[in-house]
Amino acid sequence: MNSLNRRRFLQAGATLAGGLALGVSLRGRTEDKSGSVGAPAGPHLAYLVRIEPDGRVIIGAPNPEMGQGVKTSLPMIIAEELDVNWDDVLVEQMPLGIKRDSEGNLSWLHVGQGAGGSTSVSEGWQPLREAGATARQLLLQAAADSWGVPIDSLSTERGTIVHSASGRRAGYGEFAAAASALPLPETPPTLKSSADFNIIGQPKPVVDALDIVTGKAEYGIDAALPGQVYASIERCPYRDGSVVSYDDKAARKVPGVIAIVPIEGPAPDEYFTVLAAGIAVVADSTWAALQGRAALKIEWDPGPHSKESTASLREQMVAAMRQPGQVVLDDGDVDAAWANAADQFEAEYFVPYVSHAPMETQCCVVHVREDGADVVAPTQSPSGASRIVNRLTGLDRLSINVHMTRLGGGFGRRLTVDYVAEATLVSMAVKRPVKLQWTREDDLQHDFYRPCGLHRLRASLDEQGAPTGWRHQLASPSKYYRRPNVKPEDMWKPELYTDDPPRRLLENVQRQYYSMASGVPRGSWRAPAHYANAFAVQSFIDELAHRHGHDPLEYQLALLGEPRELPYENHGGPVFDPGRLAGVLKLVAAKADWGEQLPASRGRGIAGHFTFGGYAAYVVDVTVDAGELRIDRVVGAIDCGLAVNPNHVIAQMESGVHDGISTALRLEITLEGGRIQQDNFHNYRMASMRDAPRVVETHIVDSPHPPSGVGEPPISPLAPALTNAIFAATGQRIRELPIADQLKG
Amino acid sequence: MTTFTLNGESFDFDGPDDTPLLWVLRDHAGLTGTKFGCGAGICGACNVHIDGRTRRACITPVSAVAGRTITTIEGLGAQQLHPVQQAWIEEDVSQCGYCQAGQIMNAAEWLERVPEPTDEDIERYQTALCRCGTYARIRKAIFRAAEIRRQGAVAVVEPEDPEAAS
Ligand code: FES
Ligand code: FES
């Protein structure tokens, strides 16, 4: 095949039923591949496009579905170029597909299959369109050969090939077998112009909607392998603590208990394989495992972090910030800006540790066999799952099958695969398929928490109150804690994004970081550091505006200035256009009657933010009555480029609204004596219907730009829009999250 | 041995009396639509109907349901989609979808008692938690389900009304 130069390499082949199957890979060449896993051997789930002789169109959903809608939107992209009726398409979740070339390098078999950083749609956009278009091209070629007419004389109409000169028509299924025998076209086929889209850009419902509402959809907790046993693990409640001794006599007497398996804790200072030392109880049912676990007697060594508390961490931050921090950005001359300022203002903001708390706690099924392994897991990182099984067992990567169920929420928690590691270790010990089930207590007490942080912002202002210099200092325990190959001087990188505004909007901008010590494992939580930074920056801008009597919207628009493309090297770049941020702010303001006079005790706040290529803004309306907060209305606007599935863009904005509210109102993880104090939803109180605004509106900017992700951009601006509204209603500035009972006085 | 009626059929459970109904349904009856969320009666992911009332299966020992009638999400629309399930599809409520069985069981029960719900009713009775934040669509879907039920009722009283037949 003459396709060595093509960056994207398409694979085609026959399905078992003689239809056409087509995959697409970003790298690699089939002729020298020495093996793969996740390719069709039997039911050919791994193929992106499958057309059976009876005309059925089956499209693979390559990426994990955790509620962000990619099981619908990615197949929509393929279906568009393939030119089929969306209603006729069946969508199937694909397993992890990887392959090895003759040099031993592993690569994706089809497309990248993770879910993180809001990249599924933006990265899949081009290759998935090419996959659909190539399949269509092969079908056209097969029809042209069969009918003896030039391919140019043929067209397609939603699953049908048409020869308009003769009026001849036939369904795709008739040519599926012939098409599968054809060589791939040497140049990528022409893609549709966006004006011709009839699936992309149309609101489509969730593909699994019926299965979900009837209880048939499969999640990790529902997965089962034949002969499986059930495991539950009692883990050390202290970070890096260990098991001194344990007594399992009572546990072994619980009917149904099969085995007790000690799990070694993570090596100090190494990245986490599992999160904690513990004792696993293996039984013939979930309840027996839980009962056996309750009967264990374990003595823990509390380890090196047993003195840590929320208060001690805060003291550490305050003490550190008395000194200058590590300067990670230094544009212009902030010192000169302070010296020449007509006015100056400084404020501190705090965000706490929070937990991901997906509704489905961690769980998975792993079977380690002599010659391979099977993993069925709700994971955002199927390749991470494959790697950890390989590391723990030594099994070849290509002998490890990883199947993804739907995820009962992810939010970044399932980028880590510690629970897969645990199930693997237990399966190795008991030599059977092991279904591991975490309780809610396990899940809240053992997480890769979103870092807490103390932000100090300072601005110099001119006579009119416009900013001339800006400094942002942040003290936090970095998400990069214990990551391999991260130098201490790079710990700031996931916490402060150097290119975020107001960089390049103001001449003098400085950012400083203070890396804090904490034994708490940290990880990516929806939009990572954008949540905290947007809260600090968008609150501060509101404070600056009010300080000199300016309207907060006008003040921010003046700061953003004209539309233009500024370089943006952090994730979500390569450009940041302040005009697009101004655009969502103006849109949301117009839709929410910004500037309208409100009765006493009511207030309206605005905030916007750029996250991972997407621009989002909210106007929040609140009533605060005798310290009781009611969120009356949230109006949102998003510019995510082309909205592949507007229905899910709206759903993700609604999700950002409620997740934003939930996290701002009450959620925090606190520590005392080295232990996390929250252990279920009674003391980690996420928002309920009582907290939900009665009116939630979303407006999507009609944008000429290619699609960005939409999973993360919607969350960051919510909290500051809410606290800015509280300020408008009460004059009380919320600088610490969660809001909790700060309004009660 | 505990015997109860499960989605219209008799079911025998031959295990410890203190086993929560949730795990009996999931591990022994093979009905995995009912979910585990907290195990503490807070989140409602495990909502089922016991003798027609919403109950948290995670804190209900199986011994407490001897002789009683249980409906799970699998049984709710077994013959034909329940108006609440239909409304959930029409409003496209689900994100991750994990909490939705519990949400639907929750709504299906109290809508029987409160056929014309207000916002206050929804905030009072719809107690199941959703981590993904589908509350805006749950609210809409409850209003829609009430509408579907009303139309159904109208169809019985005034069968000639062409609107009601749709
Ligand atoms: S699992 Fe039963 S209420 Fe949460
Ligand atoms: S839809 Fe995910 S928890 Fe409700």
- DSSP for A163-190 reads ETTTTEEEEGGGGHHHHHTSPPPSSPPP
Q: Does B83 touch chain A (CB under 8 A)?
A: no
Tell me how far apart the terminal alpha carbons of chain A are, to the nearest angstrom.
Answer: 73
| Ligand 2 binding residues, C-beta < 6 A | A 67, 359, 409; B 94-100, 130-132, 134
Distance A651 CA to ligand 2 centre (A): 12
Q: Which of B110, B135, B139 to mutate to test the interface with A (most CBs of A within 10 A)?
A: B135
Read off the pLDDT of each residue in A412-436 and give the average, rounded to a whole number: 97
Please report residues of A whose CB lies closer than 8 A to that of B31: 215
pLDDT digits (tens, 9 = 90+) for A142-190: 999 999 999 999 999 999 999 999 999 999 999 988 888 888 887 778 9
Please report residues of A whose CB lies closer than 8 A to that of B73: 213-215
SS3 A278: strand
Reference A420, options A448, A453, A392, A444; nearest CA is A392
Note the pLDDT of residue A551.
98
Read off the pLDDT of each residue in A419-427 and give the average, rounded to a whole number: 98
Judged against a pLDDT cut of 90, whether residue B11 lies above it is answered with yes
Note the pLDDT of residue A448.
97
SS3 A432: coil
In eight-state DSSP terms, residue A458 is E
**Under an 8 A CB cutoff, do B42 and A682 touch?**
yes
| Ligand 1 binding residues, C-beta < 6 A | B 36-39, 41-46, 56, 58
Reference A367, options A228, A273, A274; nearest CA is A228
**Under an 8 A CB cutoff, do A67 and B96 touch?**
yes
In this structure, are strands B9-13 and A363-368 parallel, antiparallel, or unpaired?
Answer: unpaired
CA distance A486 to chain B (A): 32
Asked which of A50-64, A496-510, B57-71 is least confident by mean pLDDT, the reply is A50-64
Do A4-213 and A220-304+362-437 fold alike per CATH? yes
- DSSP for B61-78 reads BGGGGTT-EEE-HHHHTS
Read off the pLDDT of each residue in A191-198 and give the average, rounded to a whole number: 92
Read off the pLDDT of each residue in A507-526 and give the average, rounded to a whole number: 96
Please report residues of B whose CB lies closer than 8 A to that of A215: 31-34, 72-74, 101
Judged against a pLDDT cut of 70, whether residue A28 lies above it is answered with no
SS3 A156: strand
ipTM of the complex, rounded to two decimals: 0.93
Distance B33 CA to ligand 1 centre (A): 13
* A358 Cα nearest atom in ligand 2: 3
Judged against a pLDDT cut of 60, whether residue B153 lies above it is answered with no
Express as a percent the part of chain B with pLDDT over 90: 88
Q: How confident is the prediction for chain A on average, in pLDDT? A: 91
**Under an 8 A CB cutoff, do B19 and A651 touch?**
no
Read off the pLDDT of each residue in A726-738 and give the average, rounded to a whole number: 98
Mutate to test the pocket of ligand 1, among B24, B34, B42, B106 (most ligand atoms within 8 A of CB): B42
Amino acid at A469: G
Judged against a pLDDT cut of 60, whether residue A42 lies above it is answered with no
Note the ligand closest to the C-alpha atom of B35: 1
Distance A44 CA to ligand 1 centre (A): 37
Note the pLDDT of residue A47.
57
Q: Is A377 exposed, middle or buried (0-12, 13-18, 19+ CB in 10 A)?
A: buried
* B35 Cα nearest atom in ligand 1: 1
Read off the pLDDT of each residue in A721-738 and give the average, rounded to a whole number: 98
Read off the pLDDT of each residue in A269-274 and give the average, rounded to a whole number: 90
pLDDT digits (tens, 9 = 90+) for A197-222: 999 999 999 899 999 999 999 999 99
Please report residues of B whose CB lies closer than 8 A to that of A355: none
Asked which of A72-86, A107-121, A681-695 is least confident by mean pLDDT, the reply is A107-121
Shortest CA distance from A204: residue in chain B: B92
Shortest CA distance from A653: residue in chain B: B133
Q: Cβ of A729: how many Cβ atoms within 10 Å?
A: 23
Judged against a pLDDT cut of 80, whether residue A27 lies above it is answered with no
Q: Is A376 or B161 the better-scoring residue by pLDDT?
A: A376
Express as a percent the part of chain A with pLDDT over 70: 94
Read off the pLDDT of each residue in A274-303 and give the average, rounded to a whole number: 98
pLDDT digits (tens, 9 = 90+) for A593-632: 999 999 999 999 999 999 989 999 999 999 999 999 999 9
Note the pLDDT of residue A29.
30
Q: Please, are residues A376 and A405 in contact by the beta-carbon 8 Å criterion? A: yes
Judged against a pLDDT cut of 90, whether residue B157 lies above it is answered with no
Read off the pLDDT of each residue in A494-513 and give the average, rounded to a whole number: 97
For domain A4-213, which CATH number applies: 3.30.365.10, 2.60.40.420, 3.65.10.10, 3.30.830.10? 3.30.365.10
Distance A441 CA to ligand 1 centre (A): 12
pLDDT digits (tens, 9 = 90+) for A374-418: 999 999 999 999 999 999 999 999 999 999 999 999 999 999 999
Shortest CA distance from A409: residue in chain B: B96
In this structure, are strands A508-515 and A467-476 parallel, antiparallel, or unpaired?
Answer: parallel
pLDDT digits (tens, 9 = 90+) for A529-585: 999 999 999 999 999 999 999 999 999 999 999 999 999 999 888 999 999 999 999
Q: pLDDT-based confidence at A2, cuts 50/70/90?
A: very low
Read off the pLDDT of each residue in B34-55 and give the average, rounded to a whole number: 98
Sign of CA dihedral A202, A203, A207, A210: negative
Read off the pLDDT of each residue in A342-351 and give the average, rounded to a whole number: 98
Q: Which of B70, B80, B96, B124 to mutate to test the interface with A (most CBs of A within 10 A)?
A: B96
Amino acid at A155: S
Shortest CA distance from A65: residue in chain B: B96
For chain A, the domains span: 4-213, 220-304+362-437, 310-354+448-744
The CATH classification number of A220-304+362-437 equals 3.30.365.10
pLDDT digits (tens, 9 = 90+) for A437-466: 999 999 999 999 999 999 999 999 999 999
The CATH classification number of A310-354+448-744 equals 3.30.365.10
Judged against a pLDDT cut of 50, whether residue B158 lies above it is answered with no
Q: pLDDT-based confidence at A227, cuts 50/70/90?
A: very high
pLDDT digits (tens, 9 = 90+) for A657-672: 999 999 999 999 999 9
Residue listed under structure tokens 């693990």: A233
Note the ligand closest to the C-alpha atom of A68: 2
Q: Does B44 touch chain A (CB under 8 A)?
A: no
